Structure 1
Amino acid sequence: MHRRQFLKTAALTALTPAFMRAGSASAATTTESVIVLDSGAASITLIDKATHRVTRSFPVGKEPHHLMLLPNGKQLIVADAVGGELNFLNPITGTYEGRLPGIEDPYQIGFSPDRKWFVANCLRLNRVDIYRYDGGHKLQLAKRVPLDTIPSHMAFTADSQTVFVSLQGSDAVVALHLPTQRVLWKMKVGKATAGLWMTPRDEHLLVALTGEDAVVAVDWRRQRSVKRIVTGRAAHNFRSLADHRHVLVSNRLSNTISVVDMQTLRKVEDIHGLRPGPDDMELSADRRWLWTTFRFAREVGLIDMRTRKLVDVIRVGRSPHGIYFHDRAPFYDNLPYAEQRPVRVGAA
């Protein structure tokens, strides 16, 4: 079988073994791990969520950056950009469970809210790959969409009709229509567009500018910027505070995290005293603890959200990027919270 034919076949069928293994673990006999992707070390670090101690580190792929839960909640996908594959972990323990080769350059990944589409931003290849997802065992490539340089982050509308992609090397954002896989529009926003966030009711698209010190609120229906929110140097990524009103913004060069009010489009406060390069964030289910990767410090930090203070720092691998743990607060603000609750491994 030729290599091209093999990869095409793999993309259609290779998810099945990983899904079949997903239901074999029991949540009752496992300890919850904080899963950290060390993109510069090509490894994963597991931290005991209760004790904050590193329990294990193991190699995965060549450059794991981002991760997300499968729609059924039973496995965690780790995207290996340079290795061109998806890896699968137990979402509670972090145990490695399988891989899917033949997914080219998956830097950032996402499922549409209706779970019909799987999108991969191919950062080095300057394109977005859109796959049909059957909700079970298969990914089927629908279209490769060539774009301008460095497609980075993404956000979806709640109706699953549109996915927005930041073009970090082109200072722009592009809108793609998922049912037809065509480009709807592209607009310049600011220097080095990175993280994207949809506010409740899909009112505004928030765009973090890593090349500046701000987040821009975009009226995406009229394709115009409506507000510039100064946060901090190298504003980069978002995480909901799970109150349907506030979103966190990590500022890589200010070493701060800003709290932004999505109704008034104003910054409320900054969290100071952090380590260099705050990036991805994850919030505990009780909204008390915020875990953050510090990409420039090779560390993960724990912030007490009652006091807004950094209370613990854990040493991990080089350039920690994505972070996840299973018992987390709802992530999105433009989707019904009932659709975001994790499914326990082994449950229906």
Structure 2
Amino acid sequence: MTFILGHPLLPLPAVMIDCLSTSFRRLAASLLLLLLLCVNGTADAGLAIALNSADGTISLIDTETYTVTDKVTVCKEPHHLIPTPDEKSIIVACAAANQLVFFDPSTGREQKRVRNISDPYQLGYSPDRKWFVATSLRLDRVDLYDPTDFTLKGRLPAPRAPSHIAFDHASEFVFVTLQDSNEVMAIHLGTQKIAWVMPVGRTPAGIVMSPDNRYLLVASMGEGVVEVIEWRFQKSVKKVATDTATHNFQPKGDRRHFFVSNRSVNGSISLFDTRTMTVVEKYDVPGGPDDMLVRADGKELWATARFARKVQVLDLDSKTLKVSIPVGSSPHGVFFLNHAGLR
């Protein structure tokens, strides 16, 4: 008995192999390799996970057929999610349930729960992986955890309504938007103290560091702009109009451009160039686009539509909406493994 590719599950009689022509042998080997990949779980169709904040559920979506394959109850108010650094787990922040829920991103199955995490809203690992940071939107504070066992290491007051976070590349600071006081706060991670607080535009939400580590980009929902801040000097240098209700950022994957969601009912997504600090394109994406993710091949942008109970898939070649996927109520975070990058 001969084993193709050395795999014990796929034996073929040697006489059959000898009878095959050279071209057919190659075809058979290719088909068997594809089968092996499927057996080993590395060539699946692809799974996207979308959080439905108002339902307390997640929708599991086949990324090839754009269909929901399952809907799983998680907890009360799951808002944001992030992968672990090795991307073997997805962490869902369950704000009202005071816990983190871990899921396998390839299967959508729950792995574990970490309880006694007070009101987690937005989450983030520092680039050096030494800190796990969670904002508490309702309780007006920022919590610093040991990322290995989620032991609380520090808690800082952050009035009012700490929302999204970003880190500098050296993992020295974490920056937090204060949504209700129209400010950005910098926390020094080494000392676990507030380094500075500065005013920004109305209702700041998303925040991200520029690829050159020089500027913070802040999404001002109340002004419909991206505010450019030279963070080392706490200086606002520019406001760039995008559209109504500028909300969040997602890298395109080229270390230059960010997609910016404009979370109004009509809705749009802008493409922001960090070299020129200008908006270079805009796409109509209705329903309140919020969190986003780009496919690894750069051909699709997925966005949750908070007001439409959908995940919208934008074709980046044609620059048109490709498909709308019905999900649960108030979809927020979205993730899949085959992505172009997170920051």
Among 157, 168, 171, which residue is 1:146 paired with?
157
- Whole-angstrom CA distance in 1 between matches of 2:339 and 2:46: 11
Specify whether residues 29 and 213 from structure 1 end up closer, same or farther in structure 2 by C-alpha distance, changes over 3 A only. closer
Secondary structure of the residue that 2:127 maps to in structure 1?
Answer: coil
TM-score (structure 1 length as normaliser): 0.85
Does 2:300 match 1:316? Answer: no
User: Across the two proteins, how many residue pairs are aligned to each other?
Assistant: 304
Q: CA deviation at 1:26?
A: 5.8
Q: Kindly report which structure 2 residues correspond to 1:88-167, keeping only aligned pairs within 5 A, or say none.
A: 88-134=102-148, 138-167=149-178
Name the amino acid aligned to 1:110.
G
Please give the root-mean-square deviation of Cα atoms over the aligned residues, in Å: 1.3
Name the amino acid aligned to 2:217.
L
Name the amino acid aligned to 1:116.
K
- Whole-angstrom CA distance in 2 between matches of 1:295 and 1:239: 16
Q: Which residue of 2 aligns with 1:266?
A: 278
- Whole-angstrom CA distance in 1 between matches of 2:113 and 2:211: 35
Does 2:49 match 1:38? Answer: no
Moved >4 Å (runs of 4+): none
Among 64, 88, 95, which residue is 1:74 paired with?
88
Specify whether residues 246 and 281 from structure 1 end up closer, same or farther in structure 2 by C-alpha distance, changes over 3 A only. same
Q: CA deviation at 1:283?
A: 0.5
- Whole-angstrom CA distance in 1 between matches of 2:52 and 2:279: 30
Does 2:196 match 1:182? Answer: no
Aligned 8 A contact 1:86 1:100 in 2: yes
**Identity, % of aligned positions:** 45
Aligned 8 A contact 1:32 1:93 in 2: no
Q: Which runs of 5+ in 1 are unaligned?
A: 1-24, 333-348
Output one character per residue of 1:207-253: Cα deviation in whole Å (capped at 9) or x when no partner: 00011111100010110100100000100000001111111100011
Aligned 8 A contact 1:30 1:93 in 2: no
TM-score (structure 2 length as normaliser): 0.87
Q: CA deviation at 1:116?
A: 0.4
Q: Kindly report which structure 2 residues correspond to 1:1-348, keeping only aligned pairs within 5 A, or say none.
A: 27-28=41-42, 30-134=44-148, 138-253=149-264, 254-272=266-284, 274-332=285-343
Q: Which residue of 2 aligns with 1:338?
A: none
Q: CA deviation at 1:28?
A: 3.4
Secondary structure of the residue that 1:179 maps to in structure 2?
Answer: coil
Q: CA deviation at 1:29?
A: 7.4
- Whole-angstrom CA distance in 2 between matches of 1:26 and 1:59: 28
Structure number with bigger Rg = 2
Structure with larger RCO (C-alpha < 8 A, sep 6+)? 1
Q: CA deviation at 1:31?
A: 4.2
- Whole-angstrom CA distance in 2 between matches of 1:127 and 1:49: 36
- Whole-angstrom CA distance in 2 between matches of 1:51 and 1:31: 9
- Whole-angstrom CA distance in 2 between matches of 1:95 and 1:132: 25
Secondary structure of the residue that 2:218 maps to in structure 1?
Answer: strand
Aligned 8 A contact 1:31 1:93 in 2: no
- Whole-angstrom CA distance in 1 between matches of 2:40 and 2:153: 35
Q: CA deviation at 1:296?
A: 0.3
Q: Which residue of 2 aligns with 1:340?
A: none
Q: Which residue of 2 aligns with 1:344?
A: none
Aligned 8 A contact 1:248 1:258 in 2: yes
Q: Which runs of 5+ in 2 are unaligned?
A: 1-38
Aligned 8 A contact 1:31 1:92 in 2: no
Aligned 8 A contact 2:249 2:261 in 1: yes
- Whole-angstrom CA distance in 2 between matches of 1:87 and 1:140: 16
